[in-house]
Amino acid sequence: MGNDSNHKRREPLARLETTEEALSDSFKHYLTYNLGRSSGTTPVYAYNAMSLTLRDRIMADWRNTSLAQKQVGVRRTYYLSLEFLIGRALGNHLLNMGISKQTDAALQTMCFELEDIQEAEADAGLGNGGLGRLAACFLDSCATLELPVTGYGIRYQYGMFRQEIINGFQDEEPDHWLRDGNPWEIERPEYSQRIKFGGYTEYRHDDSGKLVAKWVDTRDVIAIPYDMPVTGYRNNTVNTLRLWHSTATDEFNLDEFNAGSYSDSVAAKNSAENISMVLYPNDATENGKELRLKQQYFLASASIQDVIRQWEKRFDGEPDYSQFAHDNVFQMNDTHPTICVAELMRILLDEKGLEWKDAWSIVTKSLAYTNHTLLPEALEKWPVSLFECLLPRLLDIIYEINSRFLRAVSQRWPGNTERQSRMSIIEEGPVKHVRMAHLAIVGSFSINGVAALHSELLKKGLFRDFYELWPEKFNNKTNGVTPRRWVAQSNPLMTELISSQIGEDWIRDLSQLEQVKPLAQLENTEFRQNWKAVKQANKARLAELVKERCDVEFNTDAMFDVQVKRIHEYKRQLLNVLHVIHLYNQVKNGDIKDWSPRCVLIGGKAAPGYLLAKDIIKLINCVAEVINNDSEVGDKLKLAFFPNYNVSSMEIIAPGADLSEQISTAGKEASGTGNMKFMMNGALTIGTYDGANIEILEAVGEENFFLFGLRENEVEAMRSHYRPEEFIEHDQDLQAVLNLLRCGHFNSNEPGIFNNIINSLMNPHDPWMTLADFRSYVDEQAKVSETWQDQEKWVTMSILNSASSGFFSTDRTMHEYNQDIWHLEPVSG
Ligand code: 26Q
């Protein structure tokens, strides 16, 4: 294992120059001497050479930041997440370092275009959607705010699958994002950790007569860290994202080999290497998959051991564990890494020899949990039997935590066994389960939701019992997005325009966008003209991409109406499609007075096992096929499904959108973050009273937001007597839409393929109650179209949306986490 205990004596590294000449020299050096390529090479080698050039120029700040954060007395946070949806890095580092101009110039002299080179970078797609992207935005903001926060995750060899559309259906292809190498990562095998699986617990009494547990006869796996730099915005701070790669131990192979089973030993090696092989592509629980639980424990154990290793080095002699919770705080991104409640206990008890009450006091002062879902069926639980095989010692500890916890519950509510079984970490039944959210709540000092409504609903619903026991643990932290990636990088034209008016400081203090509000007034004709021109140019850029990826022509004079996010029933892409079919009916009926032409773009991935979500993709493609090939429809209406929606495509999509669709069933979308990216880029929102939509509406004012649909309480009140037929009976537009669907108008060659969709809409038990909101949605969409007719009004609303989006910067979110949960001091590199 490594030893960097002499770090205090190390000289800071000198920064390398970032002049055009220095960049160009270094680039040529890497291209020729390191990569063995010449100037006529393909963009991928030029990308690698430039990335290595930049990495060199990050290294000094990285080392300095890292040393500064290791100093005695520096309190640090570790963000534990099974997902980091980073996207591309090159453009982000260039922006943060402020050297895009000279880099561009250096490349030009060597006949390379920066843009082409950036395109050669594969997205680091190590996440499913919102939760994973949030983790990436958080890291960006922490580095910019100089907060000592380290991300810990898994270095999946295959990220989120690549989605291809074949005959309208989703097809999943592996995402081998590391194929061409990853110039941003640094392998640090000297900090490898050993992770135990299987075996059993041995108890014995030590010399002083104390009962001690030992987890023995385990099948071990090695975790090797790979570090990626996280640069702050123009502040010389570089934080770290440490991703673990799994590999087999050497001796394990040898044992098996000596026992005469060579192939079994190779198979064992495979199974160790499987752990970090692939990201699970489900954005709800993939219940009971052994490999997923292995991934979770692998991350938790490797990360905690790594934190302890680093922290112990601060001491000359014996580490003082009474200080541990002062120095360290772990933020758990959903329940996925929650096994670390038990793992930290195990290490403190079995390896550090602490007493239970001291260990528990440390654990419950250093762990914090963020919840990201309101769907009860998405709460993670694992069969006890799986724990028994895989993590027997951790199961012992969970049982002990639970029995002590239930004692506290029975003291608070004597004789209330009903409540005890509701709150228990163990769910009883024919198959016993470990409830990970309960473990997280019991083990954490802070529990937060991700938008105001979501956090309230957690207290009233899902976690009500726990809120009654520990109200002080519960808090809200409304999500955000980083304005560096989501405006400064992705929308350079808007960035330039805003900066020409209010300077550049808004990029690190987004509340300053307020100063743009007065510029929305009609008399500011030049600014408004420029705003329109920026949107128009961004729409042209998006239209070009849509043409290339979807082979559909989007006319940039039409309204670009966009819904991109994971495909899920609760997000109600179906409601969107029903509206598109309604518009199509209007055109076909000649009901086109004062028509507002629309280009509707829908994109997103379906979990491979989620068949109805896959049907929805097929439906969108089938409806698109009919509409786009109807000459009577022409430019009045287009529909396209955007394949393989990912971080890089959002960087083009958000700036080009006029209308953002945020139409989840109220009470189901915890927050949403795409809504924020669209708002920042000047799109108007049509949305339900759900998640962060509510806070967006409050920030921009209801006159600048298209609100529709039932509220959360109304949804719940209607649920028991929801009758879809009644909504159909009273609504001719809805009848017409459903008739077209039912008669097979969009699937004449594939009869019956949408029956499941139709049945789900017509089902009185439809949890998403889509038809209940149809009328209200269509009416609000008519208001959207009417507003579009008044382009001056639209521009005003667009400017006001951007100008009101300051609250939704993750800089604000991270500031709040720090004030209320982490209590870190900024550390400058
Ligand atoms: C769990 C166990 C096994 C396999 C997979 C999973 C799993 C993986 C990913 C469960 C959930 C997720 C992702 C959830 C997610 O992205 N939630 C979104 O989080 C955003 C950030 O807070 C919110 O804005 C969204 O509202 C929420 O849906």
Per the annotation, the verdict on 673 as an active-site residue is yes
Alpha-carbon span 333 to 314, nearest angstrom: 27
What is the average pLDDT value for the chain, to the nearest integer? 96
Residue 498 φ then ψ, to 5°:
-65, -45
> Per the residue annotation, which of 65, 370, 665, 673 is the catalytic one?
673
Residue 130, ligand 1, Cβ within 6 A: yes
Catalytic residue, chosen from 162, 565, 582, 638, is 565
Q: How far is the CA of 60 from the centre of ligand 1 (A)?
A: 36
Instruction: Kindly state the average pLDDT of the residues 44-56.
Output: 98
Q: CA 422, CA 554: separation in Å to the nearest integer?
A: 53
Separation of CA 478 and ligand 1 centre (Å): 15
Q: Is 374 in the pocket of ligand 1 (CB under 6 A)?
A: no
Residue 407: φ, ψ to 5° = -60, -45
pLDDT confidence bin for 5, thresholds 50/70/90: very low
| Nearest protein CA to atom 19 of ligand 1, as residue | 131
The token duo for 712 is 């959360």
User: Is 277 touching ligand 1 by the criterion CB < 6 Å?
Assistant: no
Does the pLDDT value for residue 555 go beyond 80? yes
Which of these is catalytic: 372, 393, 485, 568? 372
- For ligand 1, whether the C-beta of 447 sits within 6 Å is no
Count Cβ neighbours within 10 Å for each residue of 376-388 and write b for 16 or more, e otherwise.
eebbbbbbbebbe
Any atom of ligand 1 within 6 Å of the Cβ of 296: no
> Hey, what amino acid is at 437?
A
**φ/ψ (deg, to 5) at 322:** -65, -15
Name the band, by pLDDT with cuts 50, 70 and 90, for residue 820. very high
Residue 82 per-residue DSSP state:
S
Q: How far apart are CA 342 and CA 300, in angstroms?
A: 10
622 has a pLDDT exceeding 70? yes
| Cβ 804 under 6 angstroms from ligand 1 | no
Q: Is 129 in the pocket of ligand 1 (CB under 6 A)?
A: yes
SS3 call for 220 = strand
- Residue 564 near residue 603, CB atoms below 8 Å: yes
Q: What is the pLDDT of residue 286?
A: 80
CB 97 within 8 A of CB 57: yes
Q: What is the structure's pLDDT at 10?
A: 65
Return the ∠ at Cα 34 (arms to 29 and 38), rounded to 5°: 65
- If you ran DSSP here, which 8-state letter would residue 278 be given? B
282 lines ligand 1 (CB under 6 A): yes
Query: Residue 3: is its pLDDT beyond 50?
Result: no
565 is catalytic: yes
What is the arithmetic mean of pLDDT over 606-625? 98
The 10 Å Cβ neighbour count of residue 752 is 9
291 lines ligand 1 (CB under 6 A): no
Ligand 1 lined by 568 (C-beta under 6 Å): no
Ligand 1 pocket member 579 (CB < 6 A):
no
For residue 501, with 0-12 CB atoms within 10 Å meaning exposed, 13-18 middle and 19 or more buried, which class applies? Answer: middle
Q: Is 138 in the pocket of ligand 1 (CB under 6 A)?
A: no
For residue 616, the CA-to-ligand 1 centroid distance in Å is 20
Pocket mutation for ligand 1, best pick of 133, 290, 372 (most atoms within 8 Å of C-beta): 372
Percent helix, strand, coil in the chain (nearest 5)?
55, 15, 30
Give the pLDDT score at 734: 98
Question: What's the gap between Cα 437 and its chain centre?
Answer: 19
Residue 337: φ, ψ to 5°: -95, 20
Residue 263's pLDDT is 74
Query: In the predicted model, what is the mean pLDDT of residues 665-677?
Result: 98
Measured CA to CA, the distance from residue 401 to residue 356 in angstroms comes to 10
CB distance 507 to 475 below 8 Å: no
133 CA from centroid of ligand 1 (Å): 10
Distance CA 502, CA 517 (A): 11
Q: Identify the pLDDT of residue 264.
A: 74
Say if residues 431 and 383 touch (Cβ distance below 8 Å). yes
Cα of 343 from ligand 1 centre, angstroms: 23
- pLDDT higher than 90, residue 791: yes
Residue 8 falls in the annotated catalytic set: no
- What would the pLDDT profile of 421-466 be if each residue is shown by its tens digit? 999 999 999 999 999 999 999 999 999 999 999 999 999 999 999 9
Which atom of ligand 1 lies nearest, measured to the CA of 83?
9
Phi/psi for 193 (5° steps) reads -125, 150
- 254 falls in which pLDDT band (50, 70, 90)? low
Nearest CA to ligand 1 atom 8: 283
CA of 260 to the centre of ligand 1 (A): 45
For ligand 1, atom 15, the nearest C-alpha belongs to: 131
Nearest alpha carbon, ligand 1 atom 9: 283
Helix residue ranges, H only, 313-391 = 324-327, 340-346, 356-366, 384-390
Stretch among 224-228, 340-344, 376-380 having the lowest mean pLDDT: 376-380
Determine the Cα angle at 823 with ends 455 and 330, to 5°: 70
Q: Does the CB atom of residue 528 touch ligand 1 within 6 A?
A: no
For residue 370, give the ligand 1 atom closest to its CA.
22
Which atom of ligand 1 lies nearest, measured to the CA of 134? 21
571 tagged catalytic: yes
Q: Is the CB of 813 under 6 A from ligand 1?
A: no
By three-state DSSP, how is residue 274 classified? Answer: helix
**Alpha-carbon gap, residue 660 to 676, rounded angstroms:** 10
- Within 10 angstroms of residue 676's Cβ, the number of other Cβ atoms is 30
Q: Which protein residue's CA is at the shortest distance from atom 24 of ligand 1? A: 672
Judge if the beta carbon of residue 131 lies within 6 A of ligand 1. yes
Cβ of 670 closer than 6 Å to ligand 1, yes or no, is yes
In 595-731, alpha helices (H): 611-628, 647-653, 674-680, 693-700, 712-719, 724-729
Q: Where are the alpha helices (DSSP H) in 551-605?
A: 573-588
Q: What are the beta bridge partners of residue 329? A: 77
Enclosing H/E stretch for 382: strand 381-383
Question: Does any ligand 1 atom lie closer than 6 A to the CB of residue 806?
Answer: no
Tell me the C-alpha distance between 712 and 454, whole Å: 11
At 11 the pLDDT is 74
* Minimal-distance CA residue to ligand 1 atom 25: 672
Q: Lowest-pLDDT range, 32-41, 280-289, 332-341? A: 280-289
Phi then psi for residue 151, to 5 deg, are -90, 140
Residue 256: predicted pLDDT: 60
* Cα 581 to Cα 84: distance, rounded to the nearest angstrom: 37
User: Which residue, among 190, 191, 164, has the nearest Cα to 175 in the 3D structure?
Assistant: 164
Write down the pLDDT at residue 251: 63
pLDDT at position 7: 45
* Band of residue 269 on the pLDDT scale cut at 50, 70, 90: confident
Q: In this structure, what token pair is assigned to residue 412?
A: 């608070």
Say if ligand 1 is within 6 A of residue 134 CB.
yes
Give me the residue label for tokens 């609903």.
457
What is the C-alpha separation between 206 and 382, in angstroms, rounded?
Answer: 33
Ligand 1 centroid – CA 756 distance (Å): 25
Mean pLDDT in residue range 36-65: 97
Residues recorded for the chain:
829
Rounded distance from Cα 258 to ligand 1 centre (Å): 45
**Closest C-alpha residue for ligand 1 atom 6:** 285
| φ, ψ at 427 (rounded to 5°) | -90, 120
- pLDDT > 70 in the chain, percent: 97
Instruction: Give me the pLDDT at residue 259, please.
Output: 64
| Cα-based distances in Å from 90 to 6, 121, 655, 725, 786 | 32, 8, 20, 53, 42
Cβ distance 439 to 332 under 8 Å? Answer: no
Q: Given 245, 292, 566, 618, which residue is catalytic?
A: 566
Any idea of the CA torsion for 484, 485, 487, 488, to the nearest 10 degrees?
A: 60
Q: Whose CA is nearest to atom 13 of ligand 1?
A: 283
Q: Residue 12's pLDDT band (boundaries 50, 70, 90)?
A: confident
Give the model's confidence band at 9: pLDDT under 50 very low, under 70 low, under 90 confident, else very high: low
Q: Is the CB of 672 under 6 A from ligand 1?
A: yes
SS3 519: helix
CA dist 701 and 813 (Å) reads 21
Q: Which helix (H) or strand (E) holds 221?
A: strand 219-231
Euclidean distance between CA atoms 324 and 312, whole angstroms: 9
Q: CA nearest 42: which of 114, 123, 112?
A: 112
Q: How many CB atoms lie within 10 A of CB 445?
A: 17
Q: Which of 587, 500, 461, 535 is nearest to 802 (CA)?
A: 535
pLDDT, tens digit, 9 for 90 and up, residues 743-773: 999 999 999 999 999 999 999 999 999 999 9
CA distance 312 to 4: 12
Residues 497 and 802: beta-carbon distance below 8 Å: no
Is 50 exceeded by the pLDDT of residue 287? Answer: yes
Best mutation site among 84, 161, 283 for ligand 1, i.e. most ligand atoms within 8 A of its Cβ? 283
pLDDT confidence of residue 759? 98
- Nearest in space to 302 (alpha carbons), one of 272, 325, 268, 279: 272
Specify the pLDDT at position 1: 35
- Report the distance separating Cα 572 and Cα 662, nearest Å: 9
Res 268: pLDDT: 73
Closest CA to 528 of 518, 516, 538, 519: 519
Split at pLDDT 50, 70, 90, the class of 30 is: very high
| Strand-pair category, 433-435 with 381-383 | antiparallel
Answer yes or no: are the C-beta atoms of 770 and 574 closer than 8 Å: yes
Dihedral, CA atoms, 608, 612, 618, 623, nearest 10 degrees?
-150
Q: Which of 134, 291, 373, 693 to mutate to test the pocket of ligand 1 (most atoms within 8 A of CB)?
A: 373
- Report whether 81 contacts 153 (CB < 8 A): yes
Amino acid at position 105, single letter: A
Nearest to 473 by CA among 504, 505, 441: 441
Q: Is 566 among the residues known to form the active site? A: yes
Atom number of ligand 1 nearest to Cα 692: 24
Residue 819 class from Cβ within 10 Å (0-12 exposed, 13-18 middle, 19+ buried)?
exposed
Q: Which DSSP category does 664 fall into?
A: P
Buried b (16+ CB within 10 A) or exposed e, 523-543: eeeebbebbbebbebbbebbb
- The helix or strand, by DSSP H or E, that contains position 528, with its residue range, turns out to be helix 525-550
Active-site annotation holds for 381? no
**Which has the closest alpha carbon to 55: 93, 81, 105, 112?**
93
